[in-house]
Amino acid sequence: MPAPRLRQLNYRDVRIVEESVDNPFGPELLIEARGPVRIVTLNRPEAMNAANEALHVALQSVWGHLANDTDARAVVLTGAGRAFSAGGDFNHFVELWDDRPARRREIDGARRLLNEMVDFPLPVVAAVNGPAVGLGCNLAVLSDIVLIGQSAYFADPHVSVGLTAADGGAPTWPLLMGLLRAKEYLLTSARIPAEEAVAAGLANRVVADADLLDEAVAVAQRIAALPPQAVQSTKRALNMHVKRAVAGVLEYALSEEFDSFETPEHQALVTDFLERAKAKAR
């Protein structure tokens, strides 16, 4: 392991130490240390951090890796570039149409990712720096505190691309905002601007884009300074509500999402999207 790279940063009244840490998940997922805080960055900016297979696998594994980091006390989750995450990579969807074993791994990975985040002992502060769509939206709302940039938005467009909203929206949104509101957003795939996301219960507060990451780190630093056993046991107690809420719903929804990939409606929508994107790139 290379020698630590140390840089002293002044942040308000906090002295933050930035250093290198072990990261087996690059380049798709980056880990940076600032004292007891770990900043995890989705790092496919050229694809607006849409999840290909490598990023999806990294997102499943990073939580166990961080849980074993004895110096870590809190995590900030954000995206590189202008997006938090655009959700699933449409080219990857095509790969899953005829490869049922790969699709099963994808669905099993979605289950694992949700469970890993719910069971992760350290507090996670999401810094939603741009569009958080599908998987991206669900990564954010599975965090413990959600700060959203003023120009960012949420959306879960599973239904609009012919897929069952399985890996976050259907299991968790009713717990956060109530059943009727969750139905409206999920069945219409509506975009949810930052202020509306706060009002709906998907985010804690809106932060100016330029201040977002610094504010998320500051929140994580404040929590990291508190007694760790009290923080972690309180998080675990709170997330028991989530575990009870998703039991049963998740298994049904994931089973239906697996079958959704074979529907002609989904395949036609994805094909049309990719053809329009190719034409625009010419």
Provide the percentage of residues in the chain whose pLDDT is more than 90.
Answer: 83
Domain ranges of the chain: 7-281
For 56-111, how does the pLDDT look when each residue is reduced to its tens digit (9 = 90+)? 999 999 999 999 999 999 999 999 999 999 988 888 899 999 999 999 999 999 99
Region 180-191: mean pLDDT is 97
For 191-205, how does the pLDDT look when each residue is reduced to its tens digit (9 = 90+)? 999 999 999 999 999
Cα 185–Cα 270–Cα 189 angle in degrees, nearest 5: 5
DSSP H stretches of helix in 68-202 = 90-97, 100-119, 135-141, 169-177, 179-188, 194-200
Region 41-63: mean pLDDT is 95
Rounded-to-integer distance, Cα 142 and Cα 154, Å: 13
Q: How far is CA 278 from CA 104, 142, 255, in A?
A: 28, 33, 31
CATH of 7-281, one of 3.30.56.10, 3.90.226.10, 3.30.1360.40, 3.40.630.30: 3.90.226.10
For 246-275, how does the pLDDT look when each residue is reduced to its tens digit (9 = 90+)? 888 999 999 999 999 999 999 999 999 999
- Whether the per-residue pLDDT at 158 is higher than 80: the answer is yes
